[in-house]
Structure 1
Amino acid sequence: MKKAFLLIPAALLLLAPLSGCDTLNQVAQTAGQQLGNPSALEIASGLKQALEQGTTKSSSQLSAVDGFFGNAVVKILFPPEAQKAEKTLRSLGLNSLCDNVILSLNRAAEDAAKEAKPIFINSIKQLTLQDATNILFGNKDAATEYFKRTTVNQLTEKFKPVIQASLSKVNATKYYSDVVTAYNKVPLVSTKLNPDISAYVTQKAIEGLFVEIAKEELNIRQNLSARSTPLLQKVFSYADKNKKG
């Protein structure tokens, strides 16, 4: 079996998609226990494990209660064009209305984040051995950039209806509409605001997801303790040695 594997042309391996089949994982896990440099197949399977680990952790954290709202880095605030309105309304004593808007926007993003994992898993299944090599020896955010290229359209399509439904469920649409209506009635306001907030929340939810994925990617690249399997340890140790060289 080992001899047969060694005879597979390298070019063919580089074009083969990682379908996530059990046989591939079993072969790579067994190989990961051996000494020496990782094979192309091990590199691909190790990257697959790392990507699954990072995206699962990120989407799980953000989909929890306060995943967005309690995380200052990704917390969704008023749209830039509406922040002047927020300041004006708070000066008029409408703090509660503004706070309700912010909380509801983040709750909608948390609901949408639950939909992310299957999309990332599907993207990982399409990973080729060449993709894996490029990610392993690429920039510190190479995996994150791969996901941006392969998932943004699907995430947008999946997130938008979830966010729209969630905004309605927690009255965010009403809260934001109330804010816009109140602001648009303020004397001397020259620029009227658009009460449609769902597209903005969708964009910010996806951006927040990639912020967390980038953080997890960096964690695996830099911290030995984050490499939770022998295969991850072997593959990323090999990458560490090559980068030092």
Structure 2
Amino acid sequence: MSSRRLRLLVCGFGLAGMVGCADGGQSMKGALDGLGSAIGSVIPGTAGASQSEIAAALRQALNQGTTAAIGQLGRTDGFWSDPRVRVPLPGFISKYESTVRAIGYGSTLDQFQLTLNRAAEKAVPQVTSIFANSISQMTLADAKQILQGPDNAATEFFRRTSTNELYARILPIVSEATAQVGVTQQYKKVASKAGPILRLSGSTPPTDLDDYVAQQALNGLFTKIADEEARIRKDPAARSTELLKKVFAKQ
């Protein structure tokens, strides 16, 4: 396996780590030490770097990725200012959006949508420790699949291994955030009363708001990860750090 492919692996991990290693602690360190050791022992082209250097490079890449993603999404307007990840109005409401705006409730809709995005922005920083589990479970077969896969292979690995835990962490934070604002409180009240009636009549019930926002937050998070992974794979300058240069200068 070429040193270029190994560099892509490290950078793929760094990209995927956008969503988590700020507080992974010893579990993250142990997982990465083990992975670094395995890489150093079985993948040709890494023998020139020590196992500790390889592991340290992986840790640095993960830290860089975490800082980038949380910095982009876990701040005020992180979701709201980016049309690609902005949480849209739920389908039940968007279906009647033009009518609602026409009768003078456009500002209410805007406030409602902003609240959904604020909830997503509040939740994202709370998931930074979860990816330690995915790293600890990563096998060399997974690593090779990421190396040989498409531009979003690392992203899809973490989506596959971490989505359920991420969702479980995000949902209660979203629920708390939406419960504190009048417009979303009112939506929840209406949805809880109208939902059973609409189901009986065969109509689409109102969206479960907290589930909807949690899912949208995850979608936005993985969208950002995939964007960065593709950029890192294609642009050598995007994956340059002093430690990575030191490690891979030996290849």
TM-score of the aligned structures, taking structure 1 as reference length: 0.70
Q: Which residue of 2 aligns with 1:6?
A: none
2:113 aligns with one of 102, 113, 117: 102
1:20 aligns with one of 22, 29, 36: 29
1:75 and 2:86 equivalent? Answer: yes
CA contact (8 A) 1:63 1:113 kept: yes
Amino acid aligned to 2:116: L
How far the C-alpha of 1:61 sits from its partner, in A, is 1.4
Flag structure 1 segments of 5+ consecutive residues without an equivalent. 1-17, 185-189, 238-245
1:196 and 2:208 equivalent? Answer: yes
CA contact (8 A) 1:59 1:116 kept: no
1:148 aligns with one of 149, 159, 166: 159
Q: Which moved more, 1:154-163 or 1:59-68?
A: 59-68
How far the C-alpha of 1:193 sits from its partner, in A, is 4.5
Q: Which residue of 1 aligns with 2:173?
A: 162
Q: 1:83 to 1:235 in 2, by over 3 A?
A: farther
1:66 aligns with one of 59, 77, 92: 77
Q: Which residue of 2 aligns with 1:209?
A: 221
Q: Which moved more, 1:119-128 or 1:160-169?
A: 119-128
| C-alpha RMSD of matched pairs (Å) | 3.8
Q: Which residue of 1 aligns with 2:7?
A: none
CA contact (8 A) 1:220 1:227 kept: yes
Q: Distance in 2 between matches of 1:38 and 1:130?
A: 17
CA contact (8 A) 2:57 2:243 kept: yes
Larger radius of gyration between Structure 1 and Structure 2: 1
> SS at the partner of 2:82?
coil
CA contact (8 A) 1:62 1:209 kept: yes
Aligned length: 209
Q: Which moved more, 1:126-135 or 1:109-118?
A: 126-135
Q: 1:218 to 1:91 in 2, by over 3 A?
A: same
How far the C-alpha of 1:59 sits from its partner, in A, is 2.6
CA contact (8 A) 1:135 1:143 kept: yes
Q: Distance in 1 between matches of 2:30 and 2:245?
A: 21
Q: Which residue of 2 aligns with 1:38?
A: 46
Q: Distance in 2 between matches of 1:236 and 1:170?
A: 51
Provide, for residues 103-126 of structure 1, a one-character-per-residue CA deviation record: whole Å limited to 9, x for no partner. 000000001101121112332233
Provide, for residues 38-77 of structure 1, a one-character-per-residue CA deviation record: whole Å limited to 9, x for no partner. 3596878756654443344213311111000111110011
> SS at the partner of 2:95?
helix
How far the C-alpha of 1:218 sits from its partner, in A, is 1.2
Q: Distance in 1 between matches of 2:182 and 2:236?
A: 45
TM-score of the aligned structures, taking structure 2 as reference length: 0.68
Q: 1:216 to 1:195 in 2, by over 3 A?
A: closer
Q: Distance in 2 between matches of 1:65 and 1:210?
A: 19
CA contact (8 A) 2:92 2:207 kept: no
Flag structure 2 segments of 5+ consecutive residues without an equivalent. 1-26, 196-201
Q: 1:23 to 1:164 in 2, by over 3 A?
A: closer
Q: Which residue of 2 aligns with 1:10?
A: none
